[in-house]
Structures are given as structure tokens and as C-alpha cells.
Amino acid sequence: MGTLTARAPSTKGDKQATLTRAAGKQRAAEVVALLDPITLQKRTTPEAIVEAYLIKRGVQFEAQVELGFARPDFVLFHLPDVSGGAMALNVNGEHWHRDTLYADMAKGRAMVNVQVNGIPIVKYLEVWEKDINSGEMVLDDALRGVAWRSA
């Protein structure tokens, strides 16, 4: 029988290596510079990239907002192209979400009209890991409320 060994907790260097593989050296360095070490370790690689992008753009947001029935990765406030409220934004990994697409979209639609800090969510959007890794254009579009993929 094989021996099981505990995996050491990942370090900032491990996360930067993963970020570099996913998004390139320059973008990885930017993410590491913008996020505090605790936040960096809590986020998946695509979530860390998105959070750094939001910080860089000066977007008001809350991360991992518990709604009871769902937890959007980010709730974005005061976006010029999303009038009347906030936008819930989920970051989907190709591996973990490939079989849950329709369930994820149903949860997303259920978030509409739920209030966060007294502001209703009026739009739900998903961004996908592969698109995030290809550059910032998908995130630029997301801030305008435009999805690259839909169910």
C-alpha cells in the first residue's frame, strides 16, 4: 500500500508560478503586486486575475458575497453601463464548471433583485478562465455588462 503524504500549503511563489503559466509573467507580477498575500491565497487563479483587474480599474466591489443560496465571486457597484444597481460576476474555471453550466446560470438569474448593501443586483454575468487568460478584453466587456459566452 502506498503512503499518503500531506501536501504543503501553497506559497506566494507557487501562486505566482501558477499565475505565470495561466496569464504570463507580466500579468502575474501585476496580480501579485495588487493583492495582499492572504487574498492571493484564498482566490483561485482566475479569481485573483479578475480581482487585480477590478482594483487596477478602481471598480467598487465586494468579493465572495454570501447570499444564502449562492455566493457570487464578485458583486460590482456603480458601473456606468449597468444602471439601476449592481452586477454579480462569477468566474468559472473550465474544469470545475463545465458540467454545471445550466445550474450556475439558474443561480445567477436568481441573484437578480437580491440586495447587497441596499443595492439590488440587476445583472448577472459569468466570465470563463480560458477567456480571462487570453487577456483583459473579456473583463473590459464584462464591466460594460457584455458576456462572451451564454447558456
pLDDT at 6: 43
Domains, the chain, with CATH or none: 12-140 (3.90.1570)
Provide the pairing of β-strand 74-77 with 86-92. Answer: antiparallel
Q: C-alpha grid cell for residue 143?
A: 464591466
pLDDT at res. 120 = 96
Q: What is the pLDDT of residue 74?
A: 97
Q: Which residues of the chain have pLDDT under 50?
A: 1-10, 97, 151
pLDDT tens digits, 6-30? 444 445 568 778 888 888 888 889 9
Q: Which helix (H) or strand (E) holds 32?
A: helix 25-34
Q: What is the pLDDT of residues 60-78, one digit of tens each?
A: 999 999 999 999 999 999 9
